[in-house]
């Protein structure tokens, strides 16, 4: 049988956010707020996996378009 003190140390990871706080999804196109979770080394920043993927696509597209003149980037979009 497991001692409860062992489990409390395993589940005692600290989060980088105060208890009861809410954060806005890290996707700039999403405004969903949620209770953060995860350990301090890798906190949850997105409300859903699809939002995480969208944010990644936006960052990559932005990197590709930043070398172009504004007019050409707007034409592509």
All residue ranges of the chain with pLDDT < 70 are 1-20, 38, 40-41
What letter does residue 27 receive in the DSSP assignment? S
* Integer Cα distance of 52 and 25 in angstroms: 9
Q: What is the pLDDT of residue 23?
A: 85
pLDDT confidence of residue 50: 94
For residue 6 the two structure tokens come to 């062992």
pLDDT tens readout for residues 11-31: 555 555 556 678 899 999 999
């Amino acid at each position: 049988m497991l001692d409860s003190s062992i489990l409390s140390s395993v589940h005692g990871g600290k989060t980088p956010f105060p208890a009861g706080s809410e954060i806005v999804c890290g996707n700039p196109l999403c405004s969903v707020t949620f209770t953060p979770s995860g350990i301090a080394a890798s906190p949850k920043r997105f409300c859903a996996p699809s939002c995480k993927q969208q944010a990644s696509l936006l960052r990559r597209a932005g990197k590709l378009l930043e070398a172009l003149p504004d007019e050409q980037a707007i034409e592509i979009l």
